[in-house]
């Protein structure tokens, strides 16, 4: 079937038709376009030779710029895989209008709800503003590792895309507290990733959670190095509907902060406390209490727990918690040097659904 017709863009909008006529001129540069498909996990090393489908999608992805009307001939699920295999590192601000125009060959502008500019290192806030002006229906946007995208872009995003629900700003190192204050206007925001945003402080994190906290389901503030444990307490107070939280690398987080989160966020299914080095056995007690409450209420229980690098945890404390961990599918305990074979055996006994277990290397028993 033919792709849906494009509507007029109005003043200040992209002229899709004229851009499409210039496609061949741009295509000789071998440019990539932003992903319009959710990123898929890369195949594991040693997983065998690529399938015929993978070889074909790779070939199409490499020559996508030279294939006319590809949206008319490829099934939608194949097209998503092809777009997902494009590389974004060479995209610049000047390329963004063209890339949007080719995206609009597949999906009309007023129906584009997801775009990914992951690893577009050369794209700046000015380039991203073109996206907001032409894709008002965006609900999910991946800007991870767009290191030149900053506060101005977030101001435009909050004003032009009020329906945004998911935003990934991982590694956006120019984003500051000012940008976070703009995000507080997105009262329907459900997922936010600020990992490695090292210019963000307590003020920025707290502005977001005070504004968008009630709607947030996923929050990643891992390695936000200027964030203190005070913000963890504010997160617990305002984000009671969280199902996923990462405060990995927070050097100030204490057992009582974990207790606040576990007591107030009973729907938690993924908790990342990696490298929170001040945590002790005391953090396992509120996690146990949360698990007990989830099981008692019959609601989805914690599935992923990352305690890697929490070197103060002891074997006895972990063994006391493990009988409640039947729901866990992921457990990371790397760097927990005080654990023994006893806790490793209890993981096997009480965690029948475990898919990913990272356990510290154990010393062999004496001869």
* Beta carbons of 339 and 365 less than 8 angstroms apart: no
pLDDT at 351 (0 to 100): 97
Selection from 255, 259, 243, 123 nearest residue 190 by Cα: 243
Going by pLDDT thresholds of 50, 70 and 90, the confidence category of residue 19 is very low
Rounded CA-CA distance 130/137 in Å is 14
Alpha-carbon gap, residue 246 to 235, rounded angstroms? 11
Q: Rg of the Cα trace of the chain?
A: 23
pLDDT at 66: 53
Residue 130 has pLDDT above 90, yes or no: yes
**pLDDT, mean of residues 93-120:** 84
pLDDT digits over 186-220, tens only?
999 999 999 999 999 999 999 999 999 999 999 99
Q: What is the dihedral of CA 58, 64, 67, 70, to 10 degrees?
A: 90
Helix (H, G, I), strand (E, B) or coil at 167: strand
How high is the mean pLDDT of the chain?
A: 85
Higher pLDDT, 315 or 35: 315
Assess whether pLDDT exceeds 90 at residue 282: yes
Per-residue pLDDT reduced to its tens digit, 131-188: 989 999 999 999 999 999 999 999 999 999 999 999 999 999 999 999 999 999 999 9
On the question of pLDDT at 50 being above 90, the answer is no
Angle, alpha carbons 294-297-303 (nearest 5°): 25
The answer to which of 62-66, 113-117, 233-237 has the lowest mean pLDDT is 62-66
Q: How far is CA 4 from the centre of its chain?
A: 30
Between 20 and 173, where is the model more confident?
A: 173
Q: What is the pLDDT of residues 337-352, one digit of tens each?
A: 999 999 999 999 999 9
Whether residue 16 has pLDDT greater than 90: no
Confidence of residue 55 (pLDDT cuts 50, 70, 90): confident
Q: What is the DSSP secondary structure assignment for residue 271, as one 8-state letter?
A: E
Q: Please give the share of the chain, as a percent, with pLDDT higher than 90.
A: 65
State mean pLDDT over 47-75. 72
For residue 253 the two structure tokens come to 């987080």
């Amino acid at each position: 079937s033919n792709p849906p017709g494009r509507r007029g863009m109005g003043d200040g909008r992209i002229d899709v038709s004229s851009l499409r006529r210039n496609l061949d001129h741009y295509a000789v540069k071998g440019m990539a376009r932003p992903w319009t498909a959710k990123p898929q996990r890369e195949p594991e090393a040693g997983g065998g030779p690529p399938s015929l489908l993978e070889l074909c999608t790779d070939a199409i992805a490499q020559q996508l710029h030279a294939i006319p009307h590809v949206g008319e001939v490829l099934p939608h699920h194949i097209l998503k895989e092809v777009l997902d295999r494009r590389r974004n590192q060479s995209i610049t601000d000047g390329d963004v209008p063209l890339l949007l125009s080719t995206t609009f060959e597949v999906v009309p502008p007023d129906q584009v709800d997801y775009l990914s500019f992951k690893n577009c290192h050369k794209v700046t806030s000015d380039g991203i503003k073109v996206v907001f002006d032409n894709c008002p229906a965006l609900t999910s946007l991946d800007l991870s590792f767009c290191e030149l995208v900053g506060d101005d872009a977030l101001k435009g995003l909050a004003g032009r895309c009020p329906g945004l629900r998911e935003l990934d700003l991982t590694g956006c190192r120019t984003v500051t507290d000012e940008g976070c204050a703009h995000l507080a206007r997105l009262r329907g925001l459900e997922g936010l990733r600020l990992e490695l945003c090292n210019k963000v402080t307590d003020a920025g994190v707290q502005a977001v959670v005070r504004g968008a906290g009630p709607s947030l389901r996923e929050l990643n503030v891992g390695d936000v190095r200027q964030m203190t444990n005070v913000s963890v307490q504010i997160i617990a107070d305002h984000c009671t509907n969280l199902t996923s939280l990462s405060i990995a690398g927070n050097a100030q987080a204490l057992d009582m902060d974990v207790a606040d989160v576990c007591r107030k966020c009973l729907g938690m299914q993924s908790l990342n406390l990696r490298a929170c080095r001040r945590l002790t056995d005391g953090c396992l007690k509120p996690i146990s209490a949360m698990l007990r409450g989830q099981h008692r209420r019959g609601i989805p229980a914690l599935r992923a727990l990352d305690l890697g690098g929490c070197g103060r945890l002891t074997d006895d404390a972990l063994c006391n918690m493990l009988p409640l961990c039947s729901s866990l599918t992921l457990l990371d305990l790397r760097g927990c040097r005080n654990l023994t074979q006893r806790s490793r055996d209890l993981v096997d006994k009480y965690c029948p659904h475990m898919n990913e277990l990272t356990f510290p290397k154990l010393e062999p028993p004496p001869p």
